[in-house]
Chains A and B, each alone.
Chain A
Amino acid sequence: DVKVTQSSRYLVKRTGEKVFLECVQDMDHENMFWYRQDPGLGLRLIYFSYDVKMKEKGDIPEGYSVSREKKERFSLILESASTNQTSMYLCASSPGQGRNTIYFGEGSWLTVV
C-alpha cells in the first residue's frame, strides 16, 4: 500500500513562529503536493513538486515555501506563521510517468494563536 506520512497530526504555534510541516512517501513517487483545506473553500493547492529540487507554485503560495531535497520528502515551511494560516494541511503524492492516482496523507491540523 502507498504510504504518505505527515510528521505532525496536531500543532499549535504562535504568530510569527517559523513552522515546518514534513511529509514522506515510501513509493518512489515523482510528484508531491501540499494542499490546505478550509471549511467552505475545499482543497486549495499551495505548492507542488515534480522532481527533486523542483517546485511549482499552486493557487495560494503566498506566505509559504517548500523544500524537496530528497525524492521521498517534501517539506512545507511557514516563514512567519499568521492566524489566517490556521488550517488543515494535506500532503499528497502521485507516481508520475502517466500514472496519475494521487494519494494523501492523514493531514496536519495547524492552529496559529
Chain B
Amino acid sequence: DAKTTQPTSMDCAEGRAANLPCNHSTISGNEYVYWYRQIHSQGPQYIIHGLKNNETNEMASLIITEDRKSSTLILPHATLRDTAVYYCIVRPTNSGNTPLVFGKGTRLSVIA
C-alpha cells in the first residue's frame, strides 16, 4: 500500500468544520483513498473512500485533488463525539482479501 502522511494532531471547535489533510504523493492509478477513525477503546470505524471524484456520505465528505496526490476529509459540523484518531489509507482496487495497514493517523480533538 502507498505511504500516507498526516499531521499528528489537530483541534477543532465544536460545531465547526473539521478538515483533515492527507498526502499520498506516490499513489498509483488503481489505488483508492480510504478513511477510518478510531474512538478511544473501540474498533476502527469505516468513514468513506474514493478513487478520483469527490465523495459525500452521511458522515463526511472526501475531497481528492486532481493529481490525486492529496486528499481532505471534511466533517461538516464536528461534535465532541468526533474526537478520535483518523486514519488515511490507500489500497489497490484489486486488493481483495489483503488486510489493511494503518499508519499513525491524526488525533482530532473537538473542543467545546
Partner-B contacts on A (CB < 8 A): 4, 30-31, 33, 35, 42-43, 45, 48, 50, 56, 58, 88, 90, 92, 94, 96, 98, 100-107, 109
Contacts and interface: CB of A to CB of B under 8 A. Distances in A.
Which of A90, A100, A101: most chain B Cβ within 10 A? Answer: A100
Contacts of B103: 42
Interface in B49-96: 49, 91, 93-96
B45 interface: yes
Contacts of A58: 99
A48 B97 contact: yes
A105 B97 contact: no
Interface residues of B, number: 22
Interface stretch (B3-11, B12-20, B21-29, B36-44): B36-44
A96 B96 contact: yes
A33 B104 CA distance: 20
B45 A104 contact: yes
A90 B98 CA distance: 16
A63 B51 CA distance: 38
Contacts of B97: 30-31, 48, 50, 56, 94, 96
Contact of A106 (B34, B42, B93, B94): B42
